[in-house]
Amino acid sequence: MQRIPAKSPQAIQAYDLVNCLQQRFVDALESLASSLDSQQSFTPEEWFRDEGTHGGGIRYGTADGDMIGRGSVNTSQVHYDDLPDKKLSSANALSTIIHPVHPHAPSVHIHISWTEMRNGDAYWRIMADLNPAIENPEATQQFLSAMQTAAPENNQEAMAQGGRYFFIPVLNRHRGVAHFYLEQYNTGDKTKDLALATSVGEAAIDTYVAILQQALTQPAHCSDADRAAQLAYHTVYFFQVLTLDRGTTTGLLVHNQNDIGILASLPAYVDKDLLASWIKDMPEPQEQLLESLIAVLPETSPCLIDDAVKQKLADVVRQHYRTHSGAIALQASGDVVPSTVNNHS
């Protein structure tokens, strides 16, 4: 099979950007691993949308290493150049999540995407958030300062939107400590907007690698309490992604051709009992979703989230929202709620 690229000049430009950011991140992480005498490496895996007719992508993944427990750096381009009745023309994205092994090394999530609609509307989605199990205030400030420098005119708005999007009402907490998020961003100046997406992407990648290097070069002592805190945090991350994250949910609802790639954001292990303790606080019908997610987890403590489990989780999410379509309104949002599912209709 071969992926057929989008024809739009801006889609080509956006896809070039996300591919460059992907290579920048993978190269930096592998270089860091080499400097630490780690054997960690990323393996590319290609996926195809409709056997490549409508694009697809490449995911660089790593798992169960001595530096990163779970990691994914995914780029994709989906388009409907041959289907003029579709609302969406093309969507081009970098989506990456890194979950280090050491509890004092934070996770990171970065998403940069460009969407073009058939009616001429087009916009960027720009996200970068730092997610530590055990916060290092200096690292938090380092990340926040990098975002301020990368987007001085937009930082306040982006942090406010991110604060809303990554808040978890049931737990009365945020997923992480620094949340940059711009949704449907388009000032009308294509050059300036592309430069902003580039600046935020590069700053998030470079700053995170520097933070990770600092955490691992002279790693803090790792106690049983630290491991427990990490497991609890990874459980929070799992919970937020599968019950609130609109991007994950809509990605699974649009198609089933990259389920493992979409759920590559999940950490390696979660605490099933902790998840179950939150069922009573879930709004209807989301308590059913959480119960169903827990039901497909392995009977181990902690629960390993491997590819087979991810597939079961993807099936649960799809079935839940097909049964309770209105529940999508309970998903997280910033200032704007994108019509991602409808865009593909």
Q: Quick check: is 169 in a domain?
A: yes
Q: 43-78 as b/e, with b when 16 or more CB fall inside 10 Å?
A: eebebbbbeebbbbbbbbbbbebebbbbbbbbbbbb
> Full-prediction pTM beyond 0.85?
yes
| Residue 298 is assigned to a structural domain of this protein | no
Whether 332 is covered by a domain: the verdict is no
* Residues facing 70 on adjacent strands: 63, 99
Lookup: tokens for 47? 């996926």
| Cβ(129)–Cβ(176) below 8 Å | yes
pLDDT digits (tens, 9 = 90+) for 150-168: 999 999 999 999 999 999 9
For residue 11, the model assigns a pLDDT of 97
Examine residue 202 and state whether it is found in any structural domain, yes or no.
yes
CATH number at residue 67: 3.40.1500.10
**pLDDT, tens only, 26-75:** 999 999 999 999 999 999 999 999 999 999 999 999 999 999 999 999 99
Is 208 contained in some domain? yes
Answer yes or no: are the C-beta atoms of 65 and 39 closer than 8 Å: yes
Q: How far apart are the first and last CA of the chain?
A: 24
Its domain, for residue 150, covers: 9-222
Q: How many CB atoms lie within 10 A of CB 27?
A: 13
From the list 30, 129, 102, 112, the residue with the least C-alpha distance to 268 is 102
In a domain? residue 48 = yes
**How many domains are there within the chain?**
1
Q: How does residue 334 score in pLDDT terms, banded at 50, 70 and 90?
A: confident
Q: Which two tokens stand for residue 49?
A: 């949308």
Single-letter code of the amino acid located at 301: S
Residue 341 lies in a domain: no
Q: How confident is the model over 197-252, as pLDDT tens digits? A: 999 999 999 999 999 999 999 888 899 999 999 999 999 999 999 999 999 999 99
